[in-house]
A and B are shown apart, each in its own frame.
Chain A
């Protein structure tokens, strides 16, 4: 379990990633930027702009993830604060998403331990009203068009198997999409491993929660994410 100091540092680091833009407006703001970039890309078709589009999409994902992290970690921080008897210091507001007064890290007063860096982000959902998921993926990753199979990290049929657990707007969001190289790798990874794993999950889980579905997606990302395009896990090192 993390110490209060570690959690406080994590909270502070996450807050530092946020801008003064209210968190509920961050996604829309970046969508707006992405729309402009898309328009430029369609006109110029430059590789540089394509890379910018991808970076903006990634930035959106990371900022939204950071915001969720603040909300979740703030709750843990509050519990630990009570347990260790720290009674002062600001609360981290889920609705403000910005700094207020002294930092929770300072309030905790135990900053000796370096927080354990999360090596890889867990699977998460975003939100989209565009259910053309391949368009969503290729807009964010235009250089992969024609080279990858677009796969849902949490499979689409979850909507059929477990009605009401995952909204279609979450299911088809960029955060839930993975690019699997077409051809032999696609068949091996996409079918033999991912599909089989999900089938076993469905057999064993009558009523999974959304988090359990995401946990399974994270587990599969950990196993196969280095083969995706873009890779979402570090490539395996050549042992030879």
Chain B
């Protein structure tokens, strides 16, 4: 099976309510709070080291019986500066796509270089929505960085 490495768009930064365990690398996210300020519209987004999906993508993934992830709650809001500059925008209730799988084995996994690796099936499901700003390359294994 072919696997792909994904580099999603990065539309914001951690909010004040984020809780991380930084004793490991990558840090373990205990509570996810993301402040969006430049979302371009993709269904899959990231802010190191977490990934999130729109509700519609979460629904598609949940129905497909894929492996290697859990859907968790996240706190999402538009940043103060974004509201001031862009005006209030409607922000989807992104779900936290918590990756639990192994790269090139599960449908969702984290490679040795901390990259997101997905199966062909997972990629097709994500591409059924919007994935215009995500860099996609065929995965050929990785080395730890």
A contact set with B: CB distance below 8 Å: 134, 149-150, 155-157, 160-163, 182, 186-187, 190-192, 195-196, 198-200, 202-204, 206-207
Restricting to B30-51, which residues have a CB under 8 Å from any CB of A?
38, 40, 46-49
**Chain B min CB distance to A172 (Å):** 13
- Given known pairs A149-B85, A160-B20, A182-B85, the reply for A206 and B25 (CB within 8 Å) is yes
Considering the chains assembled together, what is the distance between the CA atoms of A162 and B48 in angstroms? 12
Q: A203-B115, A203-B145 are in contact. Are A160 and B18 (CB under 8 A)?
A: yes
In the complex the two chains form, what is the Cα distance from A226 to B29 in whole Å?
36
CB<8 Å pairs between A and B, sample of 30: A134-B81, A149-B81, A157-B14, A157-B47, A160-B18, A161-B20, A161-B27, A161-B48, A162-B22, A163-B22, A187-B38, A191-B9, A191-B38, A191-B40, A192-B9, A192-B133, A195-B11, A195-B38, A198-B48, A199-B7, A200-B7, A202-B26, A203-B26, A203-B48, A203-B114, A203-B115, A203-B145, A204-B113, A204-B145, A207-B25
The binding surface of chain A is classed by DSSP as: helix
Give the chain A neighbours of B47 by CB distance below 8 A: 157, 199
Number of A-B contacts (CB under 8 A): 64
Knowing that A198-B48, A199-B7, A206-B25 touch, tell me 6 more A-B residue pairs with CB under 8 angstroms.
A134-B81, A149-B81, A157-B47, A199-B47, A202-B49, A207-B25
Size of interface on B: residues with Cβ below 8 Å to A? 25
Contact in complex: A196, B13 (CB < 8 Å): no
- Assuming the contacts A134-B81, A203-B48, A203-B49, asked whether A161 and B40 have C-beta atoms less than 8 A apart, the reply is no
